[in-house]
């Protein structure tokens, strides 16, 4: 795997060097050097040869030392709301872990999931999808649900390596990740898109608008497809279940009283996110307020020590880097040049709505193969006005087609939380591939046309 990544990065590095040295037609020297640095950065992020935060620091350094961009532009991602939404998500996940709320919710559902194998797979996917509304972290959701799912698999007699155990692990991995691409604060690419849209185009993406547009197809129907594909790829039958030995709820830090208090705060936060079109408060600031409450001395649930251990500064650096990359691409004029290239390759033209919709969705999906999911908004958001002019769509509609792309997983490396969930479950990552490939095909054959119809009904196209 590492050898293949080295070869991939070597090809990207060679292409970047060629661009920097030859200055292709249509670009000036500044744009060529900037494009070379962007390619190197995307290569580092996608191959994983170095930690993602180090790739971000390399990106900053390569731009700042030769003066290709100002510090204000390079570090502009740190002022974006998305950074604070990610940070508040870490605090919420820490509170859920400290109180044991995730485990308690899982235990309550466990007896209902153990009656049949299809019911178990469907129930675990549904639980993962439901947690997407409460826990804004794919890894956090996996950490809460994997122990419950594996305990159920063991109680139902599914041994390591069996279809049943693999199916349970896949249900948790996909359920905790894929449906939440349709919930604005629930996944990293969503927040990067929201931050980039506001940062580059002054467009504020509302929680409710995002949910209504994407969740019926990319959340609900895709979840149904995931269940069907897992049952087909890894069929199994349950025997007589033993006593389900799901993990006992944690009572650390106050037990049931604190769990109820936290659940109330989560529902208030969710209600404020869902009504943002009425009060106009950015979802990031709502999340920040919830984090502040959880951090308050004596009132909150997250101690300073827990805060320091919960915050993943590497992820914060990655988000800032992705947003900064988008700003640099836009300011350098590369966005316009790339848009011109894209419009000559893709069959884009005003009035050809379905072809435009399919082309933009495919563009985002293919971009994710190189940049991974969080990088899609960094690459495509600067191109949105030009793509809107080429298609006749609004800029907002063009931006939203990115969600179809970065929620369509072809290879597992594109979504690190999927790999983390399988690792937590002790199941091989290669099992993901049988489902991701089939799901990607089904998405473009069935779900994208249905999504197009839904967008038409809502008046987005």
Check: CB of residue 431 under 8 Å from CB of residue 167: no
Q: What share of the chain is helix, strand, coil (3-state, %, to 5)?
A: 75, 0, 25
Q: Which of 447, 196, 186 is nearest to 320 (CA)?
A: 196
Distance CA 113, CA 143 (A): 18
C-alpha Rg value of the chain to the nearest Å? 22
The string of DSSP letters for 98-114 reads HHTHHHHHHHHHHHHHS
Backbone phi and psi for residue 349, each to the nearest 5 degrees, phi listed first: -165, 140
Distance CA 199, CA 442 (A): 34
Check: CB of residue 149 under 8 Å from CB of residue 124: yes
Residue 25 DSSP SS3: coil
Task: State pTM to two decimals.
Answer: 0.70
| pLDDT at residue 370, as a whole number | 65
Check: CB of residue 42 under 8 Å from CB of residue 56: no
| pLDDT at residue 246, as a whole number | 45
| pLDDT at residue 32, as a whole number | 92
Per-residue tokens: 266: 């989560």
Q: Which of 314, 396, 282 is nearest to 57 (CA)?
A: 314
Residue 345 CB neighbours (<10 A): 9
Q: Which of 290, 249, 255, 253 is nearest to 271 (CA)?
A: 290
Residue 249 DSSP SS3: coil
Distance CA 453, CA 286 (A): 33
Q: Is 202 left (phi over 0), alpha (psi -120 to 50) or beta?
A: left
CA 28 to chain centre: 34
| pLDDT at residue 83, as a whole number | 78
> 458-461 — which CB contacts under 8 Å span 24+ positions?
458/212, 458/213, 460/213, 460/394, 460/396, 460/397, 460/400, 461/353, 461/357, 461/393, 461/397
| pLDDT at residue 251, as a whole number | 44
Distance CA 131, CA 137 (A): 9
- In the predicted model, residues of the chain with pLDDT beneath 70 are 1-2, 46, 82, 102-103, 105-107, 109-110, 140, 143, 239-255, 276-277, 335-336, 339, 370-372, 413
For 67, counting Cβ atoms within 10 Å of its Cβ (0-12 exposed, 13-18 middle, 19+ buried), the class is: exposed
| pLDDT at residue 248, as a whole number | 47
pLDDT digits (tens, 9 = 90+) for 424-436: 787 887 888 889 9
Return all residues near 7 (Cβ < 8 A) that are at least 6 apart. none
pLDDT digits (tens, 9 = 90+) for 181-213: 999 888 888 988 988 898 888 898 888 899 999
| pLDDT at residue 425, as a whole number | 80
């Amino acid at each position: 795997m590492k050898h293949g990544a080295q070869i991939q990065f070597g090809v990207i590095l060679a292409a970047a060097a060629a661009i920097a040295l030859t200055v292709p037609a249509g670009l000036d020297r500044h744009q060529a050097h900037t494009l070379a640095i962007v390619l190197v950065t995307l290569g580092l992020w996608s191959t994983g040869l170095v930690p993602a935060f180090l790739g971000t620091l390399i990106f900053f350094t390569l731009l700042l030392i030769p003066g290709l961009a100002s510090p204000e532009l390079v570090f502009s991602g740190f002022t974006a709301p998305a950074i604070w939404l990610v940070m508040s998500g870490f605090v919420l996940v820490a509170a859920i872990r400290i109180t044991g709320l995730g485990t308690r919710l899982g235990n309550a559902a466990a007896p209902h999931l153990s009656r049949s194998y299809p019911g178990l797979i469907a129930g675990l996917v549904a639980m993962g999808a439901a947690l997407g509304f409460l826990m804004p972290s794919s890894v956090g959701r996996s950490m809460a649900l994997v122990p419950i799912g594996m305990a159920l698999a063991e109680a139902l007699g599914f041994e390591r390596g069996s279809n049943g155990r693999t199916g349970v692990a896949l249900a948790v991995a996909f359920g905790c990740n894929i449906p939440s691409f349709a919930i604005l604060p629930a996944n990293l690419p969503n927040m990067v898109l929201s931050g980039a849209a506001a940062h580059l185009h002054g467009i504020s993406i509302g929680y409710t608008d995002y949910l209504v547009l994407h969740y019926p197809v990319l959340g609900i129907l895709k979840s149904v497809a995931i269940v069907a594909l897992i049952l087909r790829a890894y069929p199994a039958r349950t025997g007589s279940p033993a006593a389900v030995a799901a993990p006992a709820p944690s009572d650390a830090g106050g037990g049931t009283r604190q769990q109820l208090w936290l659940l109330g705060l989560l529902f208030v936060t969710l209600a404020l996110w869902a009504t943002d079109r009425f009060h106009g408060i950015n979802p990031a600031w709502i999340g920040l307020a919830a984090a502040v409450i959880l951090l308050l001395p004596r009132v909150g649930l997250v101690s300073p020590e827990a805060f320091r251990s919960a915050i993943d500064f590497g992820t914060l650096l990655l988000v800032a880097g992705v947003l900064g990359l988008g700003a640099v691409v836009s300011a350098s004029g590369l966005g316009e040049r790339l848009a011109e290239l894209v419009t000559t390759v893709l069959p884009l033209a005003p009035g050809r709505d379905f072809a435009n919709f399919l082309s933009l969705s495919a563009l985002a999906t293919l971009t994710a193969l190189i940049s991974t999911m969080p990088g899609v908004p960094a690459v495509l958001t600067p191109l949105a006005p030009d793509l809107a002019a080429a298609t006749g769509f609004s800029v907002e509609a063009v931006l939203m087609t990115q969600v179809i792309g970065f929620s369509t997983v072809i290879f597992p490396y594109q979504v690190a939380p999927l790999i983390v969930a399988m690792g937590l479950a002790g199941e091989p990552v290669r099992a993901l591939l049988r489902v991701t490939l089939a799901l990607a095909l089904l998405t473009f054959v069935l779900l994208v046309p249905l999504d197009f119809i839904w967008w038409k009904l809502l008046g987005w196209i």
